[in-house]
Amino acid sequence: MPNSLIAKIHPRFAVVLHDLAMVWLAWAAITSFRWSFETWRPDVPMFGPEMALVLAAQGAVFWVTGLYKGLWRFASLPDLWNILRATILGALAIAVTLFLYNRLATVPRTVLLVYPVALAVLLGVPRLAYRYWKDSRLDFLSRSPALRVLVLGAGRAGETLVRDLLRENRYRPVGVLDDNTQVRGARLHGVPVLGTLEQLPELARETAAQTVLIAMPSANNAQMRRVVALCEASGLPFRTMPRLADVVAGRSTFGELKEVAIEDLLGREEVQLDWTSIRGGISGKRVLVTGGGGSIGSELCRQVARLGASSLTIYEISEYNLYRIEQELHREFPDLILEARIGDCGDAVACERAFATARPQVVFHAAAYKHVPLLQDQVREAFRNNVLGTQIVAEAADRHGTECFVLISTDKAVNPSSTMGACKRAAEIFCQNFAAQSHTRFITVRFGNVLDSAGSVVPLFREQIRAGGPVTVTHPEITRYFMTIPEACQLILQAGVLGKGGEIFALDMGEPVKITYLAEQMIKLAGKQPGRDIAIAFTGLRSGEKLFEELFHPLENYQATTHAKIFLAQPRSMGWSLLGTLLRQAELAVRDYDEDMLRRVLVQLLPEFDARPADTEATVLPFAARPS
C-alpha cells in the first residue's frame, strides 16, 4: 500500500480502534458491575459472540451518524451532541440485535440505560482533552502572547466573533461592550459583557486591552462615526467586521476583520432598490458599457453580470483597465458571453463596429473625462470626449435599435462653473432632446462624488498621508456630496428601469461632507493625529471649482418619483435644429483645434456658463436648495 494512502487512512483507523475499545470497555464494565449485585451471573465471555454483536451494532451506528467526519482537533458542542445521539441510537441497535440473538437473556435492562451515558463520556472526554492539549501546545509554542481584545457588540455578529477568537491563539477576548443594558453581566462563551460603548476608554484601561474589534455589521454611518470616535479616545488600534451589504454582495466574507475604511464613516445609508424590476431590465439582455474599465464602469459590469445579462460588451480606451476587468469577469462569471473591445467613443467608425457586432439592447455610457482642474484649460479634449463622444455613442444606439441608453452624469453639470461640468451638461442637453427624435429611451443619471474612485480625493489623501503629509485641501469650508461606487451603480440600474425617456434622475444625497472633515478622519484612520503627525494645508480654490456643489438647477423643478430616494429634474428643452447647428460648429472647431469657438458654443448651449479662460480665483456659486 502506498505510503500516502497509509498516512491518509491511519488517523481515521486509530480513531475507529479507540472508539470500539471504548464500546468494549463501557459494555464490559457496566455489565460486570451490574451482575456483581447478583448471586448468580451468566457465563458470558468478554470476547465472545455477544460482544462481537455489540461492537458490530454500535460501529454501524457510528458510521451512519457520521461520527468519523469530525476532527478531534476541532471537537466542539455539535460533536458532543453527535456522540450522544450515536450512543443512544447504538443502545437501541444493540438491544434489537441481542434480542434477536438470545432474547436479551444475559443483558440486564439497567445496562441498556446506563451504557449510552457512560459511552458518551468515554468518547467525548478524550476528544476534548486532545483539543485542549493541541491548543495548549500551540499556545506554548507560539512565541508571541495572545493579544488582549475588547469586542464591541454583543449581538449575533459579536457572539460569532468571540467564538472564533477563542479558537485562535493570537487573540484573547477579555470583554464585550454593548449599549443594550439587558445583556450587562451576561457572558458570550465565557467572556463577560462589561458595560456600554461609552465606557470603552475606561474599560480599555481596566482590562489592559491591546486592541478593539468592532462586531457591528449593521451599524449605520452615524453609529460607526461614534464608535470610531470612542475607539480613538481609547488610544487602541481597532478593526471591524464588514458590513452586511458587503457580505451579501460578495465584496467581503462574514468572518473577515478589516480596517475601518472612510466608506464606513462617510458612505450613505444603503438605499433600498427594486431589484425585481432591475433584474427584469437586465436579465437576458445584451448590454454594452462604455468606459467599462473605470471605477464606475467596472462596477456596472460586475452588477450587470450578476443580474444575468445574456451578453456583455465592454468598450474601453485603456488597454490595461480593459484587460483587468475582462480577466475578473471571466474568472467570476465563466458562463457570461463577454466581449472586450478597445476603442475611443470619439471614433465613430469604431463605435459603429462595436454596436453592429454587439447589437446591445441596453447601453450604459460611463466613458468620460472627469478631472475638473485638468480639463479646465483643455476645452477641445473635454468637448470632444464628453459631448461629441456622447453624441456618437447615442446616435449609434439609435441606429441599432437600442432599447435604453443611460448617460452617467455628475452634479458638476448643475449651474456649471468648470469646463468639465459644462461639457457634461451639454451632453445631458443632447440626450434629453435626442430622446424626442428616437425610439430609444435616453435617460440621464446625476450623482455626486464617488468615494475612492480613480482620480478622486480619497486616493490622493491616502497617498499624501502615506508620504507623511501635508494633506492638501483647497478651502476650509469646501463641501461635497459623497456616495459609494456600488450605490452609484445601483442608482444607475434603477434609473434605467424608471426612465421613460428624456429624464434626468438624481439621488437624495443626504448631507454634504466637509472635505476638511474627510481629511481629518482619513488621518485618524491611518493611526495619526491631524496637525501633529500629518499637517492639513489649504491651497485655495482652483479654477472652475465650486465651494458647494448643487444637485438641481433652480429652473429644473425637481419632483418625486416612485422611489423615495430618487428625484426627477424637469428637462429644459432646446430647439433641435439649433442644437444640431451648434454641434456641427463644435465638430469643425474640434477638427481645427479652435478652443475659442468651442467656448462660444458652450455659452450658446449654457447662457449661465462663464467660458472665459480663468486665470484668477475660481467663481464660488451659491448653494442651491436640495430635495428634502
pLDDT in tens, 21-52: 888 888 888 888 887 777 666 666 677 788 88
SS (H, E, C) 462-502: HHHHHCCCCEEECCCCCEECEECHHHHHHHHHHHHHHCCCC
Kindly state the percentage of the chain with pLDDT values over 90. 25
Per-residue confidence at 107, pLDDT binned at 50, 70, 90?
A: confident
Instruction: Give the separation between CA 605 and CA 597, rounded to whole angstroms.
Output: 12
Residue 377 confidence (pLDDT) above 80: yes
State the average pLDDT over residues 478-500: 80
Using DSSP, state whether 150 is helix, strand or coil: strand
Q: What is the pLDDT of residue 439?
A: 93
Helices 457-466 and 515-525 pack at an angle, to 10 degrees, of: 40
Contacts for 41 with CB less than 8 Å, ≥ 6 apart: 35
For the ranges 163-177, 256-270, 514-528, the lowest mean pLDDT is seen at 256-270
pLDDT at 625 over 60: no
pLDDT confidence of 423, banded at 50, 70, 90?
very high
Worst-scoring range by mean pLDDT, 287-291, 498-502, 571-575? 571-575
Question: How many Å apart are CA 162 and CA 213, to the nearest integer?
Answer: 10
- pTM reported for the whole predicted model: 0.64
Distance CA 383, CA 418 (A): 12
Q: Please report the pLDDT score of residue 507 as a whole number.
A: 72
Distance from C-alpha of 236 to C-alpha of 149, rounded to nearest angstrom:
10
Q: What are φ and ψ of residue 14, in 5° steps? A: -65, -40
Predicted pLDDT of residue 195: 84
Output the average pLDDT for the chain. 80
Judged against a pLDDT cut of 70, whether residue 100 lies above it is answered with yes
pLDDT band of 398, cuts 50, 70, 90: very high
pLDDT digits (tens, 9 = 90+) for 584-597: 999 999 999 999 99
Judged against a pLDDT cut of 90, whether residue 249 lies above it is answered with no
CA–CA separation, 584 vs 580, rounded Å?
Answer: 6
The answer as to CATH 3.40.50.720 being correct for domain 275-605 is: yes
Q: State mean pLDDT over 379-401.
A: 95
H or E segment at 176? strand 171-177
Q: Which three cell numbers stand for residue 64?
A: 451512519
Grid coordinates representing 417?
462653473
Sorting pLDDT into bands at 50, 70 and 90, what band is 265? Answer: low
> Cell numbers 482620480 correspond to what residue?
455
Of 529 and 616, more confident: 529
Residue 349, exposed/middle/buried by CB under 10 A (0-12, 13-18, 19+)?
exposed
pLDDT in tens, 214-243: 888 777 777 788 888 888 888 888 888 765
Mean pLDDT of 144-170: 80
pLDDT at 183: 77
Residue pair 315/389 in contact by the 8 Å Cβ criterion: no
CATH code given to domain 147-260: 3.40.50.720
Task: Check if 147-260 and 275-605 are the same fold.
Answer: yes
Give Cβ neighbours of residue 608 (< 8 Å, ≥ 6 apart). Answer: 415, 416
What are the residues whose beta carbons fall under 8 Å from the beta carbon of 575, sequence distance 6 or more? none
304 vs 561, higher pLDDT: 304
Domain boundaries, the chain: 3-140, 147-260, 275-605
User: Does 575 have pLDDT greater than 60?
Assistant: yes
The whole-number average pLDDT for the span 182-191 is 79
Half-sphere exposure at residue 171, Cβ-oriented, CA atoms within 13 angstroms = 20
State yes or no: pLDDT of 318 exceeds 90.
Answer: yes
- Give mean pLDDT, residues 4-17: 57
Return the top range by mean pLDDT from 186-195, 256-265, 446-455. Answer: 186-195
- Contact between 418 and 545 (Cβ < 8 Å): yes
Q: Is pLDDT at 553 greater than 70 in this prediction?
A: no
Question: With the C-alpha atoms ordered 242, 264, 276, 308, is the resulting torsion angle positive or negative?
Answer: negative
Residue 567 confidence (pLDDT) above 70? yes
SS3 per residue for 522-588 = HHHHCCCCECCCECEEECCCCCCCCCCCCCCCHHHCCEECCCCCEEEECCCCCCHHHHHHHHHHHHH
> Nearest Cα to 73, choosing from 138, 139, 131, 133?
131
Q: What is the pLDDT of residue 112?
A: 86
Give me the residue label for grid cell 467586521: 241
Give the pLDDT confidence score for residue 628 in this predicted structure: 34
Mean pLDDT, residues 432-452: 85
DSSP character at residue 288: E
pLDDT of 6 reads 38
**Does residue 525 have a pLDDT over 90?**
no
Whether 18 has a pLDDT exceeding 60, the answer reads yes
